């Protein structure tokens, strides 16, 4: 079935070139997907600052939420070696080799909590001193062999 797009005045195939507006009701978009994409691009360019401001607000909100969740996580998980509960000293020690990113870097990228949580599951919570000792022990550095 064919339909004329009012944007480009070309006759196009309905199934291929017109996206659904309301699929349950069987209503398709008025413009073809190419004209709609161009209209979306123009709208973004004309309102770019609005989108950027909205992204800043959203990212700030997500970052704050993630930091609160991480704070609660660290309060509930002391150092597994010495039991230190001071969250200023606690680190995430990646015990497996499939580290995607540092948790601290992930916090500032406005990633979803589920992504950060997946990375946390690869870690053990250690205080800074125990983390350094455990890392030296795993890497078999000369400083560890001297002690």
Q: Tokens standing for 58?
A: 């959203």
Least confident of 105-109, 123-127, 136-140: 136-140
What is the band of 143 on the pLDDT scale with cuts at 50, 70, 90? low
Predicted confidence (pLDDT) at residue 85 exceeds the cutoff of 80:
yes
Q: Is 34 part of a structural domain of the chain?
A: no
Q: Is 102 part of a structural domain of the chain?
A: yes
Query: What confidence tens digit (pLDDT) does each residue in 10-67 have?
Result: 999 999 999 999 999 999 999 999 999 999 999 999 999 999 999 999 999 999 999 9
Q: Is 17 part of a structural domain of the chain?
A: no
Cα angle value 132/136/139 (rounded, 5°): 135
- Of the spans 83-87, 94-98, 100-104, which averages the highest pLDDT? 83-87
Treating both helix axes as pointing N-terminal to C-terminal, what angle do 48-76 and 113-120 enclose, rounded to 10 degrees?
Answer: 40
Residue 137: alpha-carbon gap to chain centroid: 32
Q: Is 10 part of a structural domain of the chain?
A: no
Predicted confidence (pLDDT) at residue 147 exceeds the cutoff of 90:
no
Per the listing, tokens 């053990």 go with 124
In the chain the first and final C-alpha atoms are separated, in Å, by: 80
Number of separate domains in the chain? 1
Give me the domain span that covers residue 122. 77-146
How far is residue 69's CA from residue 113's CA, in Å, rounded to a whole number? 8
User: pTM of this prediction?
Assistant: 0.71
Q: Is 134 part of a structural domain of the chain?
A: yes
């Amino acid at each position: 079935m064919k339909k004329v797009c009012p944007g480009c005045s070309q006759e196009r195939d309905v199934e291929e070139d017109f996206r659904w507006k309301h699929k349950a009701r069987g209503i398709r978009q008025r413009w073809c997907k190419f004209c709609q994409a161009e209209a979306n691009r123009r709208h973004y360019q004309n309102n770019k600052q609005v989108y950027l401001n909205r992204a800043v607000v959203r990212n700030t909100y997500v970052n704050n939420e993630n930091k609160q969740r991480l704070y609660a996580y660290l309060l509930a998980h002391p150092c597994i070696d010495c039991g230190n509960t001071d969250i200023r000293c606690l680190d995430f020690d990646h015990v497996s080799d499939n580290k995607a990113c540092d948790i601290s870097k992930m916090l500032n990228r406005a990633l979803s909590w589920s992504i950060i949580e997946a990375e946390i599951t690869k870690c053990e919570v250690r205080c800074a001193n125990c983390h350094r000792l455990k890392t030296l022990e795993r890497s078999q550095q000369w400083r560890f062999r001297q002690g």
